[in-house]
Every structure is written in structure tokens, then in C-alpha cells.
Amino acid sequence: MTGQHPFRVVFVCTGNICRSPMAEVVFRHLAHSRGMGDLVVSRSAGTGDWHVGERADSRTLAALARRGYDGSAHRARQFDLSAFRDNDLVIALDRTHERILRQWARDEDDRDRVSLLLSFDPSATVPDVPDPYYADETAFDDVLAMIESASLALFRQLEPAIRPPRTGGIS
């Protein structure tokens, strides 16, 4: 990279063991698959501290693996205020997280960084990615499909701004 800082995004859910780790892994995969892995940093966090240091839920890891992703390196962490400064976008997985993050924001700049993941997906029929924690494996697969669709839509919107300008060309 030539002096350009990577674009940084953090995905936020409740405990950082189900939805937000999925989004982190999917978004990172999108960047790497398009040759932009060095230009994007994808992270995740939870609004609560219940699972800090733990791996993602085993059903999350299984759903990711079934779709060809590797979430094994994930360790849960809690969102803290420095994440506003350290990220270009703060993506909430549902409206509860969005509301909490906006309340935690220190100023308008922090609030402006917060967006709802499904707001980027024109095919989404609901505003929130549902929490699959108390559901079965099928719910994890369904949630992952929602996250993949919305993450792709988000990535496509951001890609022109993230990709460095091409050098050379017609003079």
C-alpha cells in the first residue's frame, strides 16, 4: 500500500459469538477474494461482556465452515469507545445494537459512523439480522445467508472508494 490507510469496519452484535463474527469473516473474505485484503480491516465486537475471550458459538463456526469460511481464529471482545475512532464504519446487526451504539457515541462524528447492516441490502425484507442463539442450526445458516447478502451489498458500495486508483493508462 502506498500511504493509504486500510478501510476499517467493525460489526457489532450482543455477545460477539454469533452474528458479528459471521459478518467479520464474510467481509474479510470478500476483501481478500477481490485482491483487497490489505486495504480492508474487518473486526467484530459485542455490546456486552459475557463472552469476552471465547471462541464463536460452535453453531456459528459450523455454519461458516459449511459455506467455506474459517472462523476459528475469532475471540469475542466487547465494543469500547475507542472503536469509534479506530473504525471508519460501525455496523450494527440489529436496531437494538444501533440504538446502543448511538447512545454510546461521544459526538455527531461517532454517530455518523453507525449504520445498520441490512440497510445496505435492497433485497432485505426486515431491518434486523435475527439472533440465532436460541434457535437451531438452520437459523444459523439463514442468518449467515442474510449477512452474506448484506455484506456483499455493503462491499460493492464501498469498493470504489477503497480500491486505489490505477496507475498508468492513457496519457
Cα dihedral across residues 64, 66, 68, 73: positive or negative: positive
- For residue 134, give the DSSP letter: T
Buried/exposed 20-54: b ≥16 CB within 10 Å, e otherwise: bbbbbbbbbbbbeeeebeebbbbbbbbbeeebeee
Q: E-assigned strands of 47-113?
A: 89-92
From the number of C-beta atoms within 10 Å of its C-beta (0-12, 13-18, 19+), residue 126 rates as exposed
Q: E-assigned strands of 14-112?
A: 40-46, 89-92
Residues carrying an active site annotation: 13, 19, 131
- For residue 78, give the DSSP letter: B
